[in-house]
Structure 1
Amino acid sequence: MTNDFQLALWKRLTEAPGAPGFEGPVRDIMREYISDCTDEIVCDNLGSIFGVARGDENGPRVMVAGHMDEVGFMATRISEKGFLSFQTLGGWWGQVLLAQRVHVITPNGTVEGIIGSIPPHVLGEDLRNRPMDVRNMFIDIGVESREEAERLGVRPGQPIVPVCPFTPMANPKRLLAKAWDNRYGCSLAIELLRELKQSPGHPNVVYAGATVQEEVGTRGAKTSAHLIQPDVFFAVDASPAGDIPGSREEGGKLGGGVLMRLYDPTFILMPGLSDLLIETCEQENIPYQIYIAKGGTDAASVQLYGAGVPTAVIGIPSRYIHSHASMIDRDDYEAAKRLLIAVVKKLDRTVLDAIRFR
């Protein structure tokens, strides 16, 4: 059963605004929870944050990272009538944007808005039958002028995020929220540190936390790898589910277990690490799903640090990622949590050498 700790953590993480480059509110939550697990916190100069759990100082340096940022927007211009032009931050499909609520994050507080465009009633038939181009969309914050928008604190350059409250569904295992990509990974990193505090003695040094700016080019992963200099890396990230009507079911299904990502265009899972993960799942009776992905994660950058870092993605499926609302299954989260904790607790120098050279 989900406990009160998890529910509070998930609600706070998913509802916090954290567009790429503007992850401060999420980082504040991460720092609060990490501080309860360890006195040692490290950050890179872009804002990625990690707690350190020291087991065997002679063991491998294990880096575990979610990413704090979510797909969002940046205000670029305010029209004379107070409408906002915007730039997407991260990968958006234009058809999921229209008539959706957003929050403009200003120094004076949150300003409500809605994404609009020219209504179809006044479009010619050729344009009406085509998807609306994102460049023709705007954000309406309900004001009458640029001056009124500015009095609210709205300026070009400010972040804008989707609105979706954290909501357990009719089946309480299914959880709806914005930004499961990738507040899932942020939560899992915190739970790993919590477990290692309660059960010390792991055969390594663990750096667990979250990076910044993954959605715009895995930028924080690059700087964090230079900071930590890991021997092995686990990206914890959500991936699109393939269990909805009309899908070819190439992704995982909700409730089917942890995603075992073997390949994406930026990453191939090393055989030795694949064997370790699958053997652990089978030994611990952890359900898993084989997954071939079309998009990348922070794994793309960290695996190329220095002479190379053995890297894996411990993921879960999430419906409707890169939109305003996404859904995960609690059982998948728990499967990923069990796998991550089990692998970290067995990853000593001997295991690492077997991964490298198998």
Structure 2
Amino acid sequence: MEDFVALLKTLSEARGPSGFEDEVREIVIKEMEPYVDEVLVDRWGNVIGVKRGASEVRAMVAAHMDEIGLVVDHVEKEGFLRFRPIGGWNEVTLLGQRVWVRTQDGRWVRGVVGVTPPHVTPSGHEREAPEMKDLYIDVGARSREEAEKMGISVGSVAVLERELAVLNGRVATGKAFDDRVGLAVMLYTLRQLGDLPVTLYAVATVQEEVGLRGAQIAADRIAPHYAVALDTTIAADVPGVGERLHVTKLGAGPAIKVIDGGRGGLFIAHPGLRDHIVKIAREAGIPHQLEVLYGGTTDAMAIAFRREGVPAAAISIPTRYVHSPVELVDLSDALNASRLLKQVLEKTTPAAVEKFLERRVK
């Protein structure tokens, strides 16, 4: 477990908002190179590791590198930075947080999201949730000119500053587990793989949080015969939430997606591939749960509807407090997700692909 935690720590603490995944990309390339035959980086920055197998059948595994972030849209004359969201935020989670702000020459400087002290909050407004437009970042600059000398201007991006911590020896918490935990599962699995019956394309994608952009480009290039996305899913097994709305539970194993959906519509995992993964999990004795999530989706949706269509599914890591500074995962769920992915890649032969693709109208 220690080597997985070390990998997750390196990935989660790296800074990589959508469109600016450079720091994460360098880690991924370094981690991939010893375990694949070739590493490619496409025009938009997706990292593609190719591990050649015994056939020309192509399997694609995708996990995204980007995290939600902020972009400066105005620098006030006093030096405070106003910003807009990159990806889906709940404004409440930003109050009083420390952040990293990227300068125009690629350096990162610290800042904080300011919060009004209770002493000067107007009576009756103490419990009001702020709107994004009313928040600001304080980098210690005394003027717009000083902020600009620091390298900060309109277009500078920011992410949360947070170190990974392990709770009770088995649960990890930190920022950007969505989807650095999926990325860690993919990279950790590469370390365990031997010979494969198909050729594997392990893809670390860009810009998932703003529309599944990188996965679309990579899938068009690879034209996979089947694909599996690795991502987080909601674990709302917390006080105040009814059991039906938990979606998944921490510690009950990785989730095999049945359906999910967001503003772009519903994604239904390919039934043949989904059942194939469930069967493998059962036969291998890997704890797992089925996932029905109404709200949010993964790279699987983008991959599924490229070219002639790609059978796609997702293995999800249950995560509490998604899109916050304190995302939380049970490490056993992540390690079991790696075990399951390894089994799927090793047992999905060309004949198996043909079998789960058989869909007859009766």
For the superposition of Structure 1 and Structure 2, which TM-score range results when normalised by the shorter chain?
over 0.9
Q: For residue 166 of structure 1, report the CA deviation from its aligned partner.
A: 1.2
Are the structure 2 counterparts of residues 163 and 54 from structure 1 closer, same or farther at C-alpha, using a change threshold of 3 Å? same
- Contact 1:173–1:329 under 8 Å retained in 2: yes
Residue in structure 2 matched with residue 88 of structure 1 by the alignment: 85
Residue in structure 2 matched with residue 155 of structure 1 by the alignment: 153
Q: For residue 119 of structure 1, report the CA deviation from its aligned partner.
A: 4.9
Relative to the length of structure 2, the TM-score reads 0.93
Pair 1:236 & 2:233 matched: no
Supply the AA of the counterpart residue of 2:256.
M
Q: Give distance in 2, aligned partners of 1:254 and 1:53.
A: 32
Q: Give distance in 2, aligned partners of 1:108 and 1:186.
A: 23
Residue in structure 1 matched with residue 338 of structure 2 by the alignment: 337
Give matches, 1:252-331, under 5 Å.
252-265=248-261, 266-293=266-293, 294-331=295-332
After TM superposition, the structure 1 stretch with the greater mean CA deviation from structure 2, 232-241 or 186-195, is 186-195
Q: For residue 254 of structure 1, report the CA deviation from its aligned partner.
A: 1.2
Q: Give distance in 2, aligned partners of 1:296 and 1:145.
A: 41
Instruction: Give a deviation string over 1:85-139, Cα, whole Å, max 9, x none.
Output: 1111100011211111111022363211111255555555565443211111111
- Contact 2:37–2:52 under 8 Å retained in 1: no
Give matches, 1:174-253, under 5 Å.
174-196=171-193, 199-200=194-195, 202-249=196-243, 250-253=246-249
Give matches, 1:66-77, under 5 Å.
66-77=63-74
**Residue segments in structure 2 that go unaligned for 5+ positions in a row:** none
After TM superposition, the structure 1 stretch with the greater mean CA deviation from structure 2, 37-46 or 206-215, is 37-46
Residue in structure 2 matched with residue 167 of structure 1 by the alignment: 165
- Contact 2:49–2:201 under 8 Å retained in 1: yes
Residue in structure 1 matched with residue 75 of structure 2 by the alignment: 78
Instruction: Give a deviation string over 1:68-95, Cα, whole Å, max 9, x none.
Output: 0011111122111100011111000112
Pair 1:349 & 2:350 matched: yes
Identity of aligned residues (%): 38
Q: Give distance in 2, aligned partners of 1:339 and 1:154.
A: 44
Q: Give distance in 1, aligned partners of 2:132 and 2:50.
A: 42
Q: Give distance in 2, aligned partners of 1:41 and 1:317.
A: 29
Instruction: Give a deviation string over 1:277-312, Cα, whole Å, max 9, x none.
Output: 111111001001121112111111100011111111
Q: Give distance in 1, aligned partners of 2:275 and 2:301.
A: 20
> SS of the residue aligned with 1:328?
strand
CA RMSD of aligned residues (A): 1.6
Q: For residue 47 of structure 1, report the CA deviation from its aligned partner.
A: 0.5
Relative to the length of structure 1, the TM-score reads 0.94
Pair 1:13 & 2:14 matched: no
